[in-house]
Structure 1
Amino acid sequence: MASNAPVGKPTDMSAPRPPKVAGIDSTVPAPPHTAAPLTGVPSAASPSDAALPPGVLIQDRLASWVSDLTTLHELTERLIKTDSLDEALREVLGAGAALVGARRGMAVLEPADGLGPTSTIGLGLAHADLGTIETVPRGSGSYGRLLDGLPEAGPAPSGPSSTRPARVPEPIAIRDVRTEEGLDPRHREVAARLGYAASYALPLATEEAGRLGAAVWLYDEPAEPDERRRHLIGLYGRFATEHLARLLQVERARVRVATVAEELLPSRLPRVPGVRLAVRHRTGPQGGGDWYDALPLPEGALGLAVGSVSGTGPSALAAMGRLRASLRAYAVMEGEDPVAVLSDLELLLRLTEPARSATALFAYAEPAQRRIVLAGAGHAPPLVVGDHRTEFVETSLSAPLGMLTCWEAPSVELSPAPGETVLLYTDGLLRRTGEATDRAFARLHAAAASVPVADRSDPGAVADHVLRTLLPRGIDPAVEGEDVVLLAARFE
């Protein structure tokens, strides 16, 4: 219990109305079950404590401990529900403001290893205010001193530098910006402009996680948190740093997976006379196996493909890369026959990935003749968008690759009119809507039919309109969900 004991007067957290700090009402609410202060009981630091019954002092001290622990429990419970770095930083700022009795603040995410990501979040501060604070010389600002001073803070323990834990610096309190010694004049100027008179900065760092950033809270009047509040914010800060470290690992893993996925896909779309291409691709946080391809073929032909490999993560990405590379080879050899291309791909998948399935659609296009021959394996049908029609291409039902002993399905031929756009997409576009399959298809059709006439000459504008209409909230890469691929081909 000693590690959780509050420092200072035991009645601070049990008073019916929290004390004011720097002229601001404390935002730390007293829990409804907290014991009220007993009449006539002096502070624990009073010399007359010895005259009081021991049970009274113990009861009051226990009530203070319970109140502090309850507050920390509620704040940490709220923090662990956050699942992104920015959301977590905002929660840390709000909880910290309640604990130290401040109204405004800012948090800076700047990992010491320099690998990013970096971010600056404000509480009660506009974007311009954050920019103004950042004009203060880094060595004069309290958060800047914490960020830059961590490697040299305190004697480092012995041992190899690669395994030596980082030393955590102490928080920095500036009780009065106007009278504090050693501050840069620019610091005082910015404080006067923004209307704050004091600050309290806390490192977001632990010996295990290292330095991740710093948070600073701003007071409207000269002040600093008392010892009890320092103790509470210190406990909360250590917990918050470990939570931020976990979110940082997840974010870095997501970025790496997204980078690998992008590298496995075409870096640019080919230029083929008679057709214009555009693509929109978003990868989920775990990295799915959705892919697309567009490759020029002999005699001015063009091969278009979209597909999806079952599973997520690195193994799905590796399988996706192998299938895409194989399909390109099959398309060059026998692209005129999409059924043969997918049959070869199915055989390869069954021999090399027996526990995995995949959907795929391959189209052999001759832009000069505006002719397309396509075949699909368990894949959603393409959508033709033009001035006079918006309709799905009628394809036969077929099983995904790897599901049957021998895959087989007939091909379909279509002739898009001049100015029409053919949309190829993966199932993730439909599943991201959260609707049942039939309703998702209906929404996709309505989105394509509502493309403005002025945008229909640009396949990229067509794709963007469909995405905005179908997914009005956009595609947050940090939110769990299917990959999305939308490949648009406009025929001249």
Structure 2
Amino acid sequence: MSDRRDSREQLRRLQQVTDAALSKLGVEDLLQELLVRARELLHADSATVMLLDPTGTELIATAASGLEREVNLGIRVPVGRGFAGAVAARGQPVSIDHVDATTVVSPVLIDEHIASMLGVPMITAGQLIGVLYVGARTPRRFTPGDVELLQLVADRIAPATQARLHSLDRATAYALQRSLLPTRPPDIAGLELAVRYVPGAQVGVGGDWYDVFELPSGMIGVAVGDVAGNGLRAAVVMGRIRSALRAYALETDDPADVLTRLDYKIQRFEPGAMATAIYAVIAPSLDKITMSTAGHPPPMFATRGTSGRLLTVRANLPLGTHMSLPRTNTEVALPPGGTLLFYTDGLVERRARSIGEGLDRLAAAVTASHPDVLCATVMSTMLDDRPAPDDVALLALRRSVND
């Protein structure tokens, strides 16, 4: 009866602590508080959280109580290897009562003379996000009650950690993306420019970007692209792709060549990444623009007195598809007043309508007005003054009428 009362009291204390933590603490403090509580409840000498890395192949020591060296040393454990790797691979509790190089990957566990361990998976929304384990220096066998209690702690840690990490990921990705996108397009004689970017309300920040830059040859480079996926990784990959495109643009004025080099770079150094992009160069005389597309929607074009129309641009494969097909260019005349709108697919794609309907609606909204007015009109028309479900990037340019 006394043991039962003690267990109920422990669970009550755990509930109180976690409820308070969930509402008030940040990720680090939350994990630390719950790890201390887990040690107390299971009479363990150490407690550690290892979170799955973005590739899903390794566990990284993220927080610890009693074995802080694992975090300080940045211990990583491949999924499927050792004790923690086995918990992650099986998605089930694992306990061991013999700790040496044959059963664990982390040398800290051996150096600290951990004798017995119990680990459980951290799962939220059906997805594994990490492993929680405790260790004891005195040999012991963990009971089914111990397993149940530790799993309860993990079940409370997992969603709180995921929510906070998602929030941090989104905030970091947004800050990174905003730092990479030009705050305003450069002043270029004879050209009027405007840009817009809004993160998706449903998926958060993604890998959309725009860019405008002057080249040593006198050409003007214009790029718009979209990295597949969303969140911090998409924003990081976007930054690397954008920088690489700028570097290749300094070496050649041929848009198809720039995208060919960029594609090879992505295949070589960004495994698993895929992106669409359109890159164009405007002649120093501003009377023509040459562009190449990599699976990206063609721009809309309008001249004075005409409504918008979708340019016919030779289609090429997206970046990162691992198919080495020749890329091609399309050349378009740009008369005074000629207006181009580059955009990402978040502007025109909706679940409730076809892509064709979205493009028709966009074409009807495009005129040869000032780029700032055009961007405002397009955003209002296409989003119906509601938050964009997916992120959207726009770049509008017009050759000055009095050029």
Q: Same fold (TM over 0.5)?
A: yes
Partner of 2:396: 488
Q: Unaligned stretches of 5+ in structure 2?
A: 1-22, 27-63, 65-158
Q: Describe how 1:456-471 pairs up with structure 2 within 5 A.
A: 456-471=368-383
Distance 1:358 1:249 in 2: 25
- Which residue of 260, 264, 268 corresponds with 2:184? 268
Matched, 1:384 2:301: yes
Give the counterpart of 1:348 among 265, 271, 276.
Answer: 265
Q: CA deviation at 1:305?
A: 0.3
Q: Name the CA distance, whole Å, in 1 between partners of 2:387 and 2:333.
A: 33
Offset at 1:441?
1.1
C-alpha distance after superposition, 1:270-297 (max 9, x if no partner): 1111111110111225321111111111
Aligned counterparts of 1:436 and 1:468: Cα–Cα separation in 2: 19
Letter in 2 for 1:257: A
| Structure 2 contact 169–231 (Cα < 8 Å) conserved | no
2: distance between equivalents of 1:419 and 1:433?
35
Q: Are the structure 2 counterparts of residues 418 and 384 from structure 1 closer, same or farther at C-alpha, using a change threshold of 3 Å?
A: same
| CA offset digits 1:8-29 (Å, max 9, x no partner) | xxxxxxxxxxxxxxxxxxxxxx
Q: What SS is found at the alignment partner of 2:251?
A: helix
Pairwise mapping of residues 90-489 of structure 1 onto structure 2 (< 5 A)? Answer: 253-284=169-200, 285-334=203-252, 336-366=253-283, 368-389=285-306, 390-432=308-350, 434-448=352-366, 451=367, 456-475=368-387, 481-489=389-397
Residue-by-residue CA offset, 1:285-340 (whole Å, 9 max, x unaligned): 53211111111112432100011111222111111111100000111110x21110
The answer to whether the Cα contact below 8 Å between 1:281 and 1:484 also exists between their aligned partners in 2 is: yes
* Deviation of 1:458 (Å): 1.8
Cα distance in 2, alignment partners of residues 367 and 315 from structure 1: 36
Q: 1:272 is paired with a residue of what secondary structure?
A: coil
Runs of 4+ that moved beyond 4 A: 110-113, 243-253
Report the Cα offset of residue 245 of structure 1: 11
Q: How far off its partner does 1:420 sit?
A: 2.0
Aligned to 2:59: none
Compute the displacement of 1:267 (Å).
2.9
Quote how far apart the aligned CAs of 1:257 are.
Answer: 2.3
Provide the C-alpha distance between the structure 2 equivalents of 1:314 and 1:252, rounded to a whole number of angstroms: 9
- Tell me the SS of whatever aligns to 1:474: coil
Deviation of the 1:408 alpha carbon: 2.1
Rate the CA distance shift 1:433–1:460 in 2: closer, same or farther, 3 A.
farther
Q: What displacement does 1:248 show?
A: 7.7
Q: Secondary structure at the match of 1:304?
A: strand
SS of residue in 2 equivalent to 1:349: helix
Please provide the CA RMSD for this pair.
2.6
Indicate conservation of the 8 Å contact 2:184/2:194, yes or no: no
CA distance in 2, matches of 1:252, 1:356: 22
> Given that residues 265 and 291 in structure 1 are in contact (C-alpha distance below 8 angstroms), is that contact kept between their aligned partners in structure 2?
yes
Q: Greater strand percent: which structure?
A: 2
> Equivalents in 2 of 1:364, 1:433: separation in Å?
33
Instruction: Give me the whole-angstrom Cα distance separating, in 2, the residues matched to 1:307 and 1:461.
Output: 22
CA distance in 2, matches of 1:112, 1:354: 36
Task: Give the aligned residue type for 1:304.
Answer: V
| Cα separation, 1, equivalents of 2:262 and 2:390 | 23
Q: Structure 2 CA distance, aligned partners of 1:408 and 1:326?
A: 20
Per-residue Cα deviation, 1:233-291 (whole angstroms, up to 9, x for no partner) = xxxxxxxxxx9999787555533321111112223311111111110111225321111
| Runs of 5+ unmatched residues, structure 1 | 1-109, 114-162, 164-242
SS of aligned partner of 2:348: helix
Q: Is the 8 A contact 1:459 1:489 kept in 2?
A: yes
Cα deviation 1:65-108 (Å, max 9, x = unaligned): xxxxxxxxxxxxxxxxxxxxxxxxxxxxxxxxxxxxxxxxxxxx
Distance in 2 (alpha carbons) for counterparts of 1:440 and 1:427: 10
Counterpart secondary structure, 1:339: helix
Q: 2:169 touches 2:232 (CA, 8 Å); kept in 1?
A: no
For these two proteins, the number of residue pairs brought into alignment is: 244
Deviation at 1:417, TM superposition (A): 1.8
Whole-Å Cα distance in 2 between the matches of residues 352 and 278 of structure 1? Answer: 32
SS of 1:381 mapped into structure 2: coil
Report if aligned partners of 1:266, 1:293 keep a CA contact under 8 Å in 2: yes
**Partner of residue 204, structure 1:** none
C-alpha separation in 1, matches of 2:160 and 2:251: 51
Q: Please state how far the C-alpha of 1:489 moved relative to its aligned partner.
A: 0.7
Q: 1:462 to 1:265 in 2, by over 3 A?
A: same
Return the offset for 1:387.
2.3
Given the superposition, is the C-alpha separation of residues 465 and 427 from structure 1 closer, same or farther in structure 2, using an over 3 Å criterion? same
Distance 1:272 1:247, change over 3 A: same
